[in-house]
């Protein structure tokens, strides 16, 4: 095999490798865009697993408080998830919380004569504007509404070409005042190694110093 043939074959192999890399990168981008769209499409929808309740996702952005690490409730066992959950019951506190969590979009209107809002801040995997978003799968209340359980779901994970690194995510949900006032406990559930991990998280409010 002469030098020209070797050079020709090397060029073909290099081009094939570039094409494969481009295809994989496009696949990753398609997954990311699809996952990001799924989170956006969830906004405004009822997330409650109970047909008698309406719990709506009002907003979801890649943002967190500047002092999240100082404010966050931290699990003591692996996985070391961190959360900042804050309840607001009036317009003034709502605007303050919106700024605290550094949300950039215009805050959706909430009728605080009928509803309260809950800000749920956490880390999700991935980097950039939409990799591996963590969405709320559903929300359940126990029989007397004293405990709210939020099931979180990673739309795509590290095996789907997603970087395993912590990036911000804040969800804002609305719930009726009557139900909100009855809630004393909040449990967040995330997947870890294919197992459900439950974390009891305190709710920061004006009237409680959790």
Query: Residue 210 above 80 pLDDT?
Result: no
Give me the pLDDT at residue 41, please: 82
pLDDT bin (cut points 50, 70, 90) of residue 96 is very high
Query: Residue 206 above 70 pLDDT?
Result: no
| Angstrom distance (rounded) from CA 129 to CA 201 | 27
Q: Could you give the percent of the chain with pLDDT greater than 70?
A: 72
Dump pLDDT digits (tens) for 1-26: 555 454 455 554 454 554 444 444 44
- The mean-pLDDT minimum among 53-67, 120-134, 137-151 falls in 120-134
Give me the pLDDT at residue 164, please: 59
Query: Residue 27 above 60 pLDDT?
Result: no
Dump pLDDT digits (tens) for 50-69: 767 889 999 999 999 999 99
Higher pLDDT, 132 or 46: 46
Give me the pLDDT at residue 32, please: 43
Mean pLDDT of the chain: 80
**Domain ranges (residues) in the chain:** 3-200
- The mean-pLDDT minimum among 142-151, 157-166, 179-188 falls in 157-166
Give me the pLDDT at residue 163, please: 59
Higher pLDDT, 39 or 152: 152
DSSP secondary structure, the chain, as one string: --HHHHHHHHHHHHHHHHHHHHHHHHHHHHHHHHHHHHHHHHTTSB-BSSTT---EEEEEES---TTHHHH-EE-SSSS--EEEEEEE-SHHHHHHHHHHTT--SPPPP--TTTEEEEEEEEEEE--TTTSS-EEEEEEEE-TTS-EEEEEEEESS-GGGT----EEEEEEEEEEEHHHHHH--EEEEEEEETTEEEEEE---B-SS---
Count the alpha carbons within 13 Å of 122 in the hemisphere toward its beta carbon: 25
Give me the pLDDT at residue 31, please: 42
Taking every pair of C-alpha atoms in the chain, what is the biggest distance, in angstroms?
A: 83
**In the block, which residue shows the tokens 């996985």?**
79
Query: Residue 209 above 50 pLDDT?
Result: no
């Amino acid at each position: 095999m002469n030098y020209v043939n070797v050079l020709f074959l090397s060029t073909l192999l290099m081009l094939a490798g570039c094409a494969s890399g481009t295809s994989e990168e496009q696949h990753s981008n398609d997954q990311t865009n699809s996952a990001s769209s799924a989170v956006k499409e969830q906004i405004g929808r009822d997330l409650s697993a109970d047909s008698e309740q309406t719990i709506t996702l009002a907003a979801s952005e890649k943002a967190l408080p500047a002092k999240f690490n100082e404010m966050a409730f931290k699990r003591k066992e692996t996985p070391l998830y961190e959360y900042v959950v804050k309840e607001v019951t009036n317009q003034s506190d709502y605007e303050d919380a919106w700024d605290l969590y550094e949300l950039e979009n215009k805050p959706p209107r909430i009728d605080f004569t009928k509803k309260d809002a809950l800000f749920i801040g956490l880390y999700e995997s991935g980097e950039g504007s939409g990799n591996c978003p963590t969405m709320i799968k559903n929300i359940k209340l126990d029989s007397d509404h004293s405990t709210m359980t939020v099931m979180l779901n990673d739309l795509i994970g590290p095996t789907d070409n997603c970087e395993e690194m912590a990036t911000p995510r804040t969800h804002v949900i609305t719930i009726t005042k009557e139900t909100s006032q009855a809630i004393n406990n909040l449990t967040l559930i995330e997947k870890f190694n294919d197992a459900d991990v439950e974390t009891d998280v305190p709710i920061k409010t004006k009237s409680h110093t959790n």
